[in-house]
Amino acid sequence: MAELSPVLKQATPVLAARGEGVHLYDEDDRRFLDFTAGIGVTSTGHCHPRVVEAAQRQVGTLIHGQYTTVLHRPLLQLTERLGQVLPAGLDRLFYVNSGSEAVEASVRLARQATGRQNIVAFSGGFHGRTMGAGALTTSGTKTRAGIGPMMPGVAFAPFPEPYRHGWSQSEAVRFALTELDHVLATVSPPADTAALIVEPVLGEGGYIPAPPEFLTGLRQRADRHGALLIVDEVQTGVGRTGRFWGLDHAGVRPDVVITAKGLASGFPLSAVAAPDELMSRAWPGSQGGTYGGNAVAAAAAVATLDIVHEEGLVANAAEQGARLAEGLRTVAADHPVLGDVRGRGLMIGNEFTAPDGSPDAAGAARAQQAAAERGLLLLTCGPHGNVVRMIPPLVVTAEHVDEAVAVWAEAMQAATA
């Protein structure tokens, strides 16, 4: 009998039969509070009736338009809707299927548009698993070990990590920008540097928000050296951080924005957006793909954007995120192993640190498992796997948040007993 490959790592033993809002149900109809949102994908909750209706309608009308062969209305609508929320000037878009694919596409775009080849990425960043996106990824070794050599032309500079170094935010930013200048003076000369790529909140690398001054500093370097600033909003976009884009917390102008995950509430869809002036410097036909901009995914994305807007989900993410962070800090106050609780909006990490200051991955795994046994699904992240992250659907209510915090408190008691 065939089985799933052991190359996959299962975060929970749950066999999900159905999903509704912030809940998943297994085949015995046991209910789980889903604070994973399928790694930040089910922004409008599981099976939001309007997403279901839009997708069902589209399935019965046109499933596969193939957007470089024929255009279709859902994609035109989606492009118009995204244009209303994207940073000013980023009004040329193309679509692919996953975050990784969009990241790789942005690298190809940056290389073609600038005639330069290097990309500077930041330590702890996650941009995907495929060979090109994986080459930009340093959130851990599992996407690199035994896999390289990776795509060449990548240099790394530090991401500001105040907690890890015991620094203030401004110290961490000063260090990161000084090191970036050093990398540009030694490893990746500006004349060879096509782009800087950054996540507004370091995601898989440990849920560490980028301080606004850091992002401002990146913009300055990009301008000074004629490089592009690519912002990977795959996990942070579409309201997740309590603003529509993670970058909105810094008010910095990007050259390229990548969005995926929450965009289509679970249908595979990603987009790359940039100004016309930049997109026009790339070769026609150099981007695209068979399934990119699938009609059903596009219809689901239009519904998603409508729901996010009409149900006020960005404001809800800010409000519930603040409530969740406050609750989690109360729990952390009782558990010294919870060294840091941080995040933005509904993207919050709980970092486990052993008494000797080392990352406590075993403690994080125990707490995650204790939470799952009590009906709360969570994921871990961070280079050492010692950060338990909470990333619920954006439709989460105060009651769900309070329930999750109560279960987390119980799970922490059980895991540290």
Could you say which residues in the range 195-224 bind ligand PMP, by CB under 6 A?
A: 199, 203-204
Name 335's Cβ contacts closer than 8 Å, sequence gap at least 6: 412, 416
Q: Report whether 351 contacts 331 (CB < 8 A).
A: no
* In the complex, least distance from residue 99 CB atom to ligand PMP, rounded to whole angstroms: 2
Query: Which of 58, 79, 100, 106 contacts ligand PMP by CB under 6 A?
Result: 100
SS3 349: strand
The reply on whether position 75 binds ligand PMP by CB under 6 A is: no
Nearer to ligand PMP by C-beta: 56 or 290?
290
Smallest distance, ligand PMP to C-beta of residue 63, A: 21
Nearer to ligand PMP, 199 or 340 (CB): 199
- Asked if residue 260 binds ligand PMP (CB under 6 A), the reply is yes
In the complex, least distance from residue 42 CB atom to ligand PMP, rounded to whole angstroms: 14
Q: Within 10 Å of residue 333's Cβ, how many Cβ atoms?
A: 10
In the three-class reduction of DSSP (H, G, I as helix; E, B as strand; rest coil), residue 136 is classed as: coil
Backbone phi and psi for residue 97, each to the nearest 5 degrees, phi listed first? -110, -25
Q: Which is nearer to ligand PMP, 39 or 365 (CB)?
A: 39
What token pair was written down for 309?
């807007």
- 368 lies in the site for ligand PMP, by CB under 6 A: no
Which own/partner contact pairs does 340-343 have at CB distance under 8 Å and 24+ positions apart?
340/163, 342/163, 342/207, 342/208, 342/209, 343/201, 343/207, 343/209, 343/389, 343/390
d(CA 261, CA 97): 10
CB of 98 to ligand PMP, least distance (A): 4
Binds ligand PMP (CB under 6 A): choice among 11, 14, 39, 150 = 39
Kind of pairing between the strands at 228-232 and 193-198: parallel
Judged by CB under 6 A, does residue 78 bind ligand PMP?
no
Contact assessment for residue 381 and residue 349, using Cβ atoms and an 8 Å cutoff: yes
Spell out where 210-302 has E strands. Answer: 228-232, 256-259, 270-274
Total of chain residues touching ligand PMP, rule CB under 6 A:
15
Whole-number Cα distances in Å, 68 to 17, 102, 172, 357? 36, 16, 45, 53
- Under rule CB under 6 A, residue 128 binds ligand PMP: yes
CA distance 13 to 18: 15
**What gap in Å lies between CA 141 and CA 146, rounded to an integer?**
9
Strand 256-259 and strand 270-274: pairing? antiparallel
Among the candidate windows 48-56, 229-237, 384-392, 402-410, which touches ligand PMP by CB under 6 A?
A: 229-237
Instruction: Report the amino acid identity of residue 177.
Output: L
- Indicate which single residue of 12, 36, 193, 235 sits in contact with ligand PMP (rule: CB under 6 A): 235
Which of 121, 234, 346, 415 is close enough to bind ligand PMP by CB under 6 A? Answer: 234
Residue 113 or 260: the one with the smaller Cβ distance to ligand PMP is: 260
Query: Does the footprint of ligand PMP cover residue 321 (CB under 6 A)?
Result: no
Task: Select the span of 105-113, 126-134, 292-300, 338-346 touching ligand PMP (CB under 6 A).
Answer: 126-134
Query: From the list 36, 42, 98, 193, which residue makes contact with ligand PMP (rule: CB under 6 A)?
Result: 98
Strand 256-259, strand 228-232: pairing: parallel
Q: Which helix (H) or strand (E) holds 28?
A: none
Given 72, 92, 116, 127, the residue binding ligand PMP (CB under 6 A): 127
DSSP character at residue 46: B
Does 104 bind ligand PMP (CB under 6 A)? Our answer is no
Among the listed residues 126, 244, 352, 408, the single contact to ligand PMP using CB under 6 A:
126
Query: Could you list the residues that contact ligand PMP (CB under 6 A)?
Result: 39, 98-100, 103, 126-128, 199, 203-204, 232, 234-235, 260
